[in-house]
Structure 1
Amino acid sequence: MSGSLRPKPPKAGDTLPAIPRPRHGNAPKAPDADLAPDPLDALAERLDGFVAAAVHPDEVAALLESDGMTDDHIRLAYGRADSFALAEDLYARVARRHPAPQAPPAGARFAGLANCLLRGLVFALPGLAYVLAAPLLAGEPGRSGLPGGTVPLLAGALTGWVWNQALSHRAHTWLGLGDRPAAARALLTGAPPGALAGAGVALAVAAPGETPAAVFAAGQALYLAAATVLLVLGRERALLGALVPLAGAVPAFRWDLPDPLRIGLLLASLAATAVLAALALRPGLRRTAAGRGGPPRAASLPYGLFGLGSGLLVLHAGTGTTPVSGAAAVVALTLSMGPAEWLLHRFRGESLSRLRTLTTAREFRRAVTGTLVLCVGGYLTVLTALLLAATPLRPGAPRPELPDLLALLLVGAALWLGLLLQAFGAVLGAATVCLLAAAAQTALPGAGPAATGGAAAVLAVLTCVLLVRPTAHRP
């Protein structure tokens, strides 16, 4: 092992240091049976590098279990009850030796920030499509006091969020296995049905007179599918180029544009996004792109449910005290996804750094908790700044009131903590909490702050319970 790096627990397929097994049967006896060497000493010597760098005995237990050491074998060979008891003895026998951390390269703290900000921008720019389409969708008031066409638009968007969140997870799993053609194949087979599902749901729920909104929702479904392909495959800059025609919406904030121009700009952006996505999916057409086995499809379901829950929370945030403040809240949340992603990377990076340098589990818990507080505080600060910047985009927009700001910050905290849990694999808990909060807001619209506040509190507790453990950050 390198003297400057912490030994990493083995991954699937890696070869562990040879763990000695006591001899049985006809093994030669020691010269003095009373002084026979303890097999645990030999095991501690073999695993010295791993155990010395561990922050907690659970890391050692995970190492033993990854080698296939069962509790029965441990009781027979080492006289300990299970892998955890054996790990505690090994941890106690080996002195802690943590290598001095390497100095981070210049600019490492802000590595990836530009790409995350780019992703935040491409998340937000599609909102200009609604500005362009607003006069085309205007009509009689719709159901439940909502503007006409709102129901098909929301139904199509939620369907797309759920489907594409699950599809993204499945494709990212293939990318994690190093099989990019298989990831393209998964997107090629999954994106078209997702677009059809979103369009079909929007058309199915459209009431008489809402046909223009349903057609727009169908185009929205196609865009969501194509954008998912480009984002998963790392083509953010190509997607940004495809969204350039939507910049024509900027004059529409003050002047009325001809309907043919509005339609032309929308179709140009949609066509460019679809073409770029089709080009990116060409590797998925190869015969060898199907992959073997692959991740189970059911594993992606919780990610789709989290997309539903978080999407509903964002939509509820758009129903602020005034339509203007609600629109500004949605813009702020969308733009904040870029900084949010960067802060997620920072949290993981800082946690891994502490895992390599700290010597006790208590120190690690304290350091990770402090990093978590800083990241959440940083995200909420950015979200506040974005809300204040987005509010004046429309002439005569009032400043956001304190209740609106607090409600937005609660939603933001719940979303960021949910994304953090999702990044560490605890997506089912995050999805459940977000869905319950969204359901409470739907059933009792006045309970919005209480529901999102409760969700943020529960997610904070789950985060502290799960992510202060060293084993949660094991590479």
Structure 2
Amino acid sequence: MSGSLWLKNGTMRDTLPVIPRQRVASGPAQGLYAADPMDELADRLSGLAADAVHPDEIAAILESDGLTDDHIRLTYGRADSFALAEDLYARVERRHPEPDATPAGPWHHGLGGCLLRGLVFALPGLAYVLGAPLLGAAGTVPLLAGAVAGWVWNQALSHRAYTWLGLGDRGAAARCLLLGAPAGALVGSAVAFAAAGPGDLPAVVFATCQSLYLGAATVLLVLGRERALLCALAPLAGAVPAFRYDLPDPVRVGLPLLSLAAAVAFAALVLRGPRPPGTGPRPSGAGPRRRPRSGPPLAVSLPYGLFGLGSGLLVLYAGGGDALVTGAGPVLALTLSMGPAEWLLHRFRRESLAGLRTLTSAREFRRAAAGTLAHCLGAYLAVLLALAVVGTLVWPGAPAPAGAGLVGLMLVGVVLWLGLLLQAFGAVRGAAAVCTLAAAAQTLAPTSGPVVAAVAAAVLAVLTCALLVRPTAHRV
């Protein structure tokens, strides 16, 4: 009987009418019951969750979507983003596509281009071979002071320009370099002048030319004009006879000046290139120009400058402290090795991204990433050792790598490569802190070089392993 209920003793009691369950909307179709929000979330994130090799990757995606723990508890009934990520990881089937057969993307760089960059890093050393007889040992201090100031400034300037390029604004990057490169040349010259003593005028002039070259080279390297820089450095090939013979003073002065003039001219031509879209004359009657973006804060670029300071000093100490004048073999090896080092950085990143697509568990990825890291670091050290041996044969007066000197060179190589790797993954603060402290310690205790380098290498190895074996560090 509708609306009534028979009791156990046979009597009847009226009840409220039974209300049928309402049909509620469930997405595009109409279902009988309300949809489980977990199902909707799993469908929405299925593509990203299927590629994950660990729940922490999904947790990072949830947090980037703005899901707070309070919202997760109220909507999905889980304690926090990590608990929700574990449920999604269990619900969504793993799907890892095979890597593309054809390399693509920003981490696929040819070895030739990286070797070219290493060559243009090392060729300016020939200018010091030409200028050394004109400067004397007393000119070392202003040269070193100007070089270190230039490294700090131009590392920070490069970061700001690369940031603008990453935002797709090449015009802003060019304006940044147009203002920053001359300012850096002034800073380097002023520091060299302040560090000079009586009779150091030739060294101050040389340091000023050095600062101008560093600014022009920064412009060309950031904007991808390595070949133009190589052409500008071509006159320095005339320094090769200076290894064995005494050259006239006009030749020693003229070749570096010719190379400097070419580098500055090429940099000016690049900065005066075609205007990017939207920077031409505005038509009459146009509305107000949109306010330009301010770019990253200046403080963000500071760690990159500190990394340049620390790593530059460590390289100089590896060459005995007077490497700018004498051109010691270790410094030649370290500067030339920057080309292979860059290529190995790209290789590590490329193979790590391939591992994200092919491996199905976090443990497999950690093992593969650690193996790739050891392989790339070992390959870099092998290249550095070979270059050190060749450098002693080519550079006059360079001592043969052996004993503590060779161990120190290898340890500095570990510090530089791991520091560059951390910088490439955005962990530049740790790399800058370690390199700067190591350089400061070696400045205070010059005989502690191998010990300081060993401690710095160990700390950077721990930081690298802690960061780069995690799948979440490799998401792009």
Q: Provide the residue aligned with 1:358 in structure 2.
A: 359
CA shift for structure 1 position 132? 0.6
CA shift for structure 1 position 237? 0.2
Q: Provide the residue aligned with 1:75 in structure 2.
A: 73
Q: Distance in 2 between matches of 1:225 and 1:82?
A: 50
2:185 and 2:215 in contact (8 A); partners too: yes
Distance 1:134 1:43, change over 3 A: same
Q: 2:279 aligns with which of 288, 295, 316?
A: 288
Q: Distance in 1 between matches of 2:153 and 2:417?
A: 20
CA shift for structure 1 position 392? 1.3
SS at match of 1:340: helix
The one-letter amino acid paired with 2:425 is F
CA shift for structure 1 position 72? 2.0
Q: Higher mean Cα deviation, 416-425 or 74-83?
A: 74-83
Deviations along 1:300-340, whole A, 9 cap, x unmatched? 11100100010110111011899999700000000000000
The one-letter amino acid paired with 1:385 is A
> Identical aligned pairs, as a percentage?
71
Distance 1:459 1:27, change over 3 A: farther
Q: Provide the residue aligned with 1:198 in structure 2.
A: 188
- Aligned-residue RMSD, C-alpha: 2.6
1:320 and 1:404 in contact (8 A); partners too: no
Q: Provide the residue aligned with 2:263 in structure 1.
A: 273
Deviations along 1:84-111, whole A, 9 cap, x unmatched? 22111101111212123333469x9984
SS at match of 1:99: coil
2:23 and 2:33 in contact (8 A); partners too: no
Q: Distance in 1 between matches of 2:398 and 2:140?
A: 22
Q: Provide the residue aligned with 1:217 in structure 2.
A: 207
Distance 1:185 1:291, change over 3 A: farther
Distance 1:434 1:259, change over 3 A: same
Where does 1:191-340 land on structure 2 (aligned, <5 Å)? 191-283=181-273, 288=279, 291-319=292-320, 327-340=328-341
Q: Distance in 2 between matches of 1:441 and 1:456?
A: 14
2:63 and 2:81 in contact (8 A); partners too: yes
The one-letter amino acid paired with 1:180 is R
Q: Provide the residue aligned with 1:120 in structure 2.
A: 118
Q: Provide the residue aligned with 2:4 in structure 1.
A: none
CA shift for structure 1 position 70? 2.1
Q: Distance in 2 between matches of 1:133 and 1:121?
A: 20
The one-letter amino acid paired with 1:259 is D
The one-letter amino acid paired with 2:329 is A
1:181 and 1:284 in contact (8 A); partners too: no
Q: Provide the residue aligned with 1:174 in structure 2.
A: 164
Does 2:164 align with 1:185? no
CA shift for structure 1 position 45? 2.4
Distance 1:93 1:200, change over 3 A: same
2:209 and 2:260 in contact (8 A); partners too: yes
Q: Provide the residue aligned with 1:371 in structure 2.
A: 372
SS at match of 1:148: helix
Q: Which runs of 4+ in 1 moved over 6 A?
A: 284-287, 320-326
Q: Distance in 2 between matches of 1:364 and 1:110?
A: 20
Deviations along 1:450-471, whole A, 9 cap, x unmatched? 0001000000000000111111
Q: Provide the residue aligned with 2:287 in structure 1.
A: none
Gaps of 5+ in 1: 1-25, 139-146
Please, what TM-score do these two structures have when normalized by structure 2?
0.87
The one-letter amino acid paired with 1:304 is G
The one-letter amino acid paired with 1:233 is L
The one-letter amino acid paired with 2:182 is P
Q: Provide the residue aligned with 2:454 in structure 1.
A: 453
Q: Distance in 1 between matches of 2:432 and 2:38?
A: 44
Q: Distance in 2 between matches of 1:399 and 1:321?
A: 17
Q: 1:134 aligns with which of 120, 124, 132?
A: 132
The one-letter amino acid paired with 1:163 is W
Q: Provide the residue aligned with 1:467 in structure 2.
A: 468
2:23 and 2:32 in contact (8 A); partners too: no
Where does 1:9-88 land on structure 2 (aligned, <5 Å)? 28=24, 37-88=35-86
Q: Distance in 2 between matches of 1:329 and 1:157?
A: 17
Q: Provide the residue aligned with 1:345 in structure 2.
A: 346
SS at match of 1:319: coil
Q: Distance in 2 between matches of 1:92 and 1:383?
A: 46
2:319 and 2:328 in contact (8 A); partners too: yes
The one-letter amino acid paired with 1:194 is G
Distance 1:326 1:198, change over 3 A: closer
1:185 and 1:283 in contact (8 A); partners too: no
Gaps of 5+ in 2: 1-21, 281-290
Number of residues of Structure 1 aligned to a counterpart in Structure 2? 439
Deviations along 1:388-441, whole A, 9 cap, x unmatched? 001012456542222211110000000000000000000000000011111111
The one-letter amino acid paired with 2:384 is L
Q: Higher mean Cα deviation, 390-399 or 439-448?
A: 390-399
The one-letter amino acid paired with 2:231 is G
2:236 and 2:259 in contact (8 A); partners too: yes
Distance 1:441 1:326, change over 3 A: farther
CA shift for structure 1 position 293? 2.8
Distance 1:449 1:27, change over 3 A: farther
SS at match of 1:399: coil
Q: Distance in 2 between matches of 1:215 and 1:165?
A: 23
The one-letter amino acid paired with 2:212 is L
Q: Distance in 1 between matches of 2:322 and 2:182?
A: 38
Q: Provide the residue aligned with 2:151 in structure 1.
A: 161
Q: Distance in 2 between matches of 1:111 and 1:192?
A: 30
Deviations along 1:140-171, whole A, 9 cap, x unmatched? xxxxxxx2111100000000000000000000
CA shift for structure 1 position 67? 2.1
1:184 and 1:284 in contact (8 A); partners too: no
